[in-house]
Chain A
């Protein structure tokens, strides 16, 4: 899984069967581990940690598309997450919809909202865009409270549970995990293909060099707005799934903290990498649980401190660090082998020269 993120063109790794084999083995091992998790760990870990990681990973995947690949910063994705969550909560809770059907509505609604935010974002950039999206994050709990007849306001609303069908033979928490994981896998594959496509190249070109992209015929506005829409959709789907996991919503669950947490996940995992958001989500959920909890007041400080240390040690995020390390190992082993470089290594040597 970790090797998957190195930007290797098919041409490159087909030339190197050894590397391809390593990738296949790692992918299978990670896949098996992911499938086994809900049978190894107890319910409180699956519901309280793993499922939360998955929803954050999907939301951060969307935010990464916007901020990492397209260069538009958003400190407001918690609001899209919240819209998705409330869509599912209201449709399931008040209108008796089946859970799955609400995903489509949450996706469509957040796509439209994303486009609506993306349009004014065409005129603002950088810090100013951060401020505007921050306002979005700050406004969301207020809007929820304002319409408390529908949303339940600060009291919140409880929704019927998402139950495992009998034929699966799974416990509810295990079923939820597999459903969330399946959606996440689909989302990651779709985003990976998108990034490698014509549209993806246009999205990256827009970030790297607006002038060049424009004179080559990239319609900047169209791609920026489209990216905003797709990005918000992923956050919205993640929010909807979070209600599958925990059938309760209230105004304060989707506050500014959530938006900042998602941004932290993108940066810590490795911006503009495919699997960075997944790692980032893992860290933002797990780091607080690893910190000593004798003085609970101190844990935010420790969390912040560990983020600072991480960013100093690994400015490219976790996957940036992994990439550096694997490059280092490959160079070392290449130097040691006396048989001369394999075609793949020769290619790498050229690339790093």
Chain B
């Protein structure tokens, strides 16, 4: 029971449509965990259930506290940040203002210092701090989305398909930064991906989702080398 996040019999969906049919998984502090699966397997729904965006049932315990049924703005305050699919750029605000929205739940005086820290880690963002965020490239917007989520100083970072719409090289860079954040800050990461190759490279463990159920799980290197898992679920 020392997991940072533990989900048991997690179900949820949209209206009458049940997408998640009872998931059990956990994430330990400091880990990078990846949830893999094809389109429609329920990856995005899983993250939405965790961050309170959709009604969910079952049990979700974060840091010893039950967070199921809580509202999204309460869950952020527990220390879970969610980078939504499509990056969630606030197009008309500048890069810096986007980062400040990320700190909206904070009242301390170190927000400016944190912004400078993320500018150091993502120099492209520093160059474009006064530019409308919507005018940046997809990769830059993904970096911004990650930096912005980190502005609330989360203990667990949820990422929804960071590779979506990005060139392979850019995707690699995004994953490298993620691994870096995980190493340097000890931020725990739960990432959902279709791009199994890259995600498994930086992950400690993985789950494979199929039609709302967990079909396989294990250490990242095991999943990557398991022929049957690869053929059946990862499609390469």
A interface residues with partner B (beta carbon < 8 Å): 7-9, 11-12, 198, 201-202, 204-205, 207-209, 211-219, 272, 347, 350-351
Contacts and interface: CB of A to CB of B under 8 A. Distances in A.
Given A9-B130, A198-B104, A208-B93, A217 B77 contact: yes
Interface stretch (B23-31, B94-102, B193-201): B94-102
A212 B77 contact: no
B127 interface: yes
B130 A215 contact: no
19 contacts: A198-B100, A198-B104, A201-B104, A202-B104, A205-B93, A208-B89, A208-B90, A209-B91, A211-B84, A212-B145, A214-B53, A215-B82, A216-B81, A216-B105, A216-B152, A217-B72, A218-B73, A347-B130, A350-B131
B130 A8 contact: yes
B75 to A, nearest CB: 8
A325 to B, nearest CB: 18
B76 interface: yes
Contact of B73 (A214, A272, A351): A214
Contacts of B156: none
B100 A216 contact: no
Contact of B90 (A12, A205, A219, A347): A205
Given A9-B94, A205-B93, A216 B53 contact: no
B51 interface: yes
Nearest to B51: A215
Nearest to A208: B90
Nearest to B76: A217
Interface string B125-138: 00111111000000
Nearest to A11: B130
B130 A211 contact: no
A216 B130 contact: no
B162 to A, nearest CB: 14
Given A9-B130, A217-B76, A351-B131, A201 B97 contact: yes
Lowest 9 CB-CB distances: which A-B pairs, in order? Answer: A212-B88, A217-B76, A215-B82, A217-B105, A208-B90, A217-B73, A214-B72, A205-B90, A351-B131
Contacts of B100: 198, 201
A202 B82 contact: no
Contacts of B91: 208-209
B73 A212 contact: no
Interface of B: 51, 53, 72-73, 76-77, 81-82, 84, 88-94, 96-97, 100-102, 104-105, 127-132, 145, 148-149, 152
B82 to A, nearest CB: 4
Given A12-B130, A216-B102, A347-B130, A201 B93 contact: yes
A214 B51 CA distance: 10
A50 to B, nearest CB: 32
B124 to A, nearest CB: 11
B104 A212 contact: no
Nearest to A350: B127
Given A215-B53, A351-B131, A208 B92 contact: yes
Given A7-B132, A198-B104, A215 B88 contact: yes
B76 to A, nearest CB: 4
A136 B115 CA distance: 44
Contacts of A214: 53, 72-73
A215 B72 contact: yes
A212 B76 CA distance: 12
A215 B160 CA distance: 12
Contact of B94 (A7, A208, A209, A211): A7
B104 A204 contact: no
A209 B93 CA distance: 11
Contacts of B73: 214, 217-219
Contacts of B132: 7
* Best-buried of B77, B100, B130 by chain A (most CB within 10 Å): B130
Contacts of A205: 90, 93, 101
A205 B101 CA distance: 8
A214 B177 CA distance: 25
Contacts of A207: 92
Nearest to A69: B92
Contact of B53 (A8, A211, A272, A350): A211
B81 A215 contact: yes
Given A217-B73, A217-B104, 9 more contacts: A12-B130, A201-B104, A202-B101, A215-B51, A215-B72, A215-B88, A216-B76, A272-B92, A347-B130
A9 B96 CA distance: 9
A227 to B, nearest CB: 15
Contact of A217 (B90, B130, B152): B152
A216 B89 CA distance: 12
Contacts of B131: 350-351
A284 B84 CA distance: 42
A218 B53 contact: no
Contacts of B82: 215
Contacts of A202: 101, 104
* Best-buried of A7, A209, A351 by chain B (most CB within 10 Å): A209
B158 to A, nearest CB: 8
Nearest to B74: A217
